[in-house]
Structure 1
Amino acid sequence: MRLTVLGCSGSVNGPGAACSGYLVQADGYPPVLIDCGHGVFGELLRYANPNEVAVLLSHMHADHCMDLPAMLVWRRWSPERATERSLLFGPDGVEVRIGAGSSEYPGHVDDITDTYEVHEWQDRVAVEVHGLHIEPFKVNHPPSTYGLRITSPDGAVLAYSGDTGVCDELVEVARDADLFLCEASWTHDPENRPEGIHLSGVEAGQAAARASARSLALTHVVPWTDSDAILDEASGEYAGPLQLVHQGQVIEVRPPL
Structure 2
Amino acid sequence: MRLTVLGGCGAWPTAEQACSGYLVEYEDFRLLIDPGYATMPRLLRHAQVDAVDAVLVSHGHPDHCADLNPLLRARGLSDVPPPALPVYAPHGALNAVLALDRPGMLATAYDLHEFRPGHRLTVGPFTVDTCLLPHHVPNAGIRLATPDAVLAYTGDTGPSPDIPRLAEGADLFLSEATYVDKVPDADAPYLLTARLAGEYARQAGAGSLLLTHLWPDTDPDAALRTAAGAFSGPIDIAAPDLTQEAGHRP
Q: Normalising by the residue count of structure 1, what TM-score does the alignment of the two structures yield? A: 0.91
The offset of 1:123, in angstroms, is 2.8
The offset of 1:129, in angstroms, is 1.2
Aligned to 2:240: 247
Aligned to 1:103: 101
Runs of 4+ in 1 over 6 A off after TM superposition: none
Aligned to 2:148: 155
Aligned to 1:79: 79
Amino acid at match of 1:67: D
Aligned to 1:185: 178
Correspondence list, 1:43-58, <5 A: 43-53=42-52, 54-58=54-58
The offset of 1:66, in angstroms, is 0.5
Contact 1:217 1:242 in 2 (8 A): yes
Aligned to 1:120: 114
- CA deviations over 1:156-195 (Å, ceiling 9, x no partner): 0000111001101211110110000111011223559831
Aligned to 1:33: 32
Aligned to 2:17: 17
Structural RMSD (CA) = 1.8
Q: State how far apart, in whole Å, the 2-side matches of 1:138 and 1:191 are.
A: 22
The offset of 1:6, in angstroms, is 0.8
Long gaps (5+) in structure 1: none
The offset of 1:80, in angstroms, is 4.0
The offset of 1:95, in angstroms, is 4.6
Contact 1:99 1:110 in 2 (8 A): no
Q: Name the SS of the counterpart of 1:94 in structure 2.
A: coil
Amino acid at match of 1:165: G
The offset of 1:224, in angstroms, is 2.8
Identity in percent: 35
Q: Name the SS of the counterpart of 1:4 in structure 2.
A: strand
Does residue 212 in structure 1 map to residue 211 in structure 2? no
Contact 2:18 2:38 in 1 (8 A): yes
Q: Name the SS of the counterpart of 1:32 in structure 2.
A: strand
**Structure 1 residues 18 and 190: CA distance shift in structure 2, 3 A:** closer
Aligned to 1:194: 187
**Structure 1 residues 87 and 195: CA distance shift in structure 2, 3 A:** same
Q: State how far apart, in whole Å, the 1-side matches of 2:230 and 2:32 are.
A: 30
- CA deviations over 1:15-44 (Å, ceiling 9, x no partner): 0311100000102x3200000111111111
Deviates more, 1:54-63 or 1:193-202: 193-202
The offset of 1:201, in angstroms, is 1.0
Q: State how far apart, in whole Å, the 1-side matches of 2:238 and 2:2 are.
A: 14
Q: Name the SS of the counterpart of 1:31 in structure 2.
A: strand
- CA deviations over 1:197-225 (Å, ceiling 9, x no partner): 21111111111111111111111111132
Contact 2:117 2:141 in 1 (8 A): no
The offset of 1:139, in angstroms, is 0.5
Q: State how far apart, in whole Å, the 1-side matches of 2:182 and 2:97 are.
A: 35
Contact 2:73 2:106 in 1 (8 A): no
The offset of 1:136, in angstroms, is 1.0
Contact 1:186 1:193 in 2 (8 A): no
